[in-house]
Amino acid sequence: MSGTRYGAGGSAAPALLLAIFLILFVAATVYLFAAQVYPAPPPISHDAALVDRQYNLTLCAAGIAFILAQLGLAYAVWRFRDRGQRARFIPGNVALEVLWTCVTLIVFVGLGVLGRRAWADARFVPSPSNAVQIEVTTNQFVYTFRYPGPDGKFGRLDPSFISAPAGNPLGLDPNDGAGRDDAVVATLIVPVDRPIELLLRSQDVIHNFFVRELRLQQDAVPGMVIPVNFTADRIGTFEIVCTQLCGLGHNNMHSLLRVVSQADYDSFLRRQAATP
């Protein structure tokens, strides 16, 4: 015990090892992101590209802060290691506190404002008049899609008519003429390069509609009809998954989004109209 002796100092090894670990940790993390080891699938809409741009911007801002903070920590661990010196107490620095609080505030609010469009486009911008309206109904554990048919009008729904075994999973009211031509299918088929407006509904618990390639993820909430817009610009088949833990079958809840040419879409509609 030598409470008054300050000359001895501890071994430099722990400080050196921790500093080296921090530098390697930063290098490995930067590599994982920069080399895109786990890349996202290519976006298939303009809004998805906007989301990607915003993601990269946020990643850059957070990445710079992360690198500076960790390297600063490595430096401090090494520079201020125990060399037998007397510890100094620093009560803080108001100017520095104000500075980095303001910088953080500006960066966070700035990123939020910049990213507003990427998020709001799909939700708050009304879809154009030529948009294709498709209703999406979720229940444990399936997606059901409804097209309004040649009359362009969705028929009335009534929960008392809901009967999946009888072929009426949505509860279409048979007394409403507007519903006679409605097409109810298990796969979402949309024409390429046309604005699509989905109307999300749920019959039981909160589900979700998520397509990675659209960077679009929206909850479906019982009692609400939630509109979301997108325009897919690439033909292909993409997976729709539910990202809300909606019950025991949640892991099996998925469907397909098929983006097809206008001609293929028209023939799909014709086939549906021909089926009684």
Binding residues vs Cu ion (CB under 5 A) = 207, 242, 246, 253
Pick between residue 143 and residue 230 the one whose CB is nearest to Cu ion.
Answer: 143
Pick between residue 52 and residue 219 the one whose CB is nearest to Cu ion.
Answer: 219
Shortest spacing between CB 247 and Cu ion, in angstroms: 7
* Cβ atoms < 10 Å from Cβ of 211: 22
Q: Is-contact 111 58, C-beta < 8 A?
A: yes
Taking the C-alpha atoms of residue 270 and residue 47, their distance in angstroms, rounded to an integer, is 30
Shortest spacing between CB 178 and Cu ion, in angstroms: 28
Shortest spacing between CB 146 and Cu ion, in angstroms: 18
Side chain identity at residue 35, one-letter code: A
Pick between residue 183 and residue 220 the one whose CB is nearest to Cu ion.
Answer: 220
Taking the C-alpha atoms of residue 257 and residue 192, their distance in angstroms, rounded to an integer, is 11
Shortest spacing between CB 179 and Cu ion, in angstroms: 25
Q: How far is CA 138 from the centre of its chain?
A: 18
Shortest spacing between CB 221 and Cu ion, in angstroms: 12
- Judged by DSSP in three states, 257 sits in strand
Shortest spacing between CB 161 and Cu ion, in angstroms: 23
Q: Determine how β-strand 207-211 pairs with β-strand 183-185.
A: unpaired
Q: Pseudo-torsion of CA 208, 213, 215, 219, nearest 10°? A: -10
Pick between residue 74 and residue 253 the one whose CB is nearest to Cu ion.
Answer: 253
Pick between residue 246 and residue 257 the one whose CB is nearest to Cu ion.
Answer: 246
Taking the C-alpha atoms of residue 34 and residue 66, their distance in angstroms, rounded to an integer, is 14
Distances (CA, A) of 33 to 27, 71, 141: 10, 17, 34
Pick between residue 189 and residue 242 the one whose CB is nearest to Cu ion.
Answer: 242
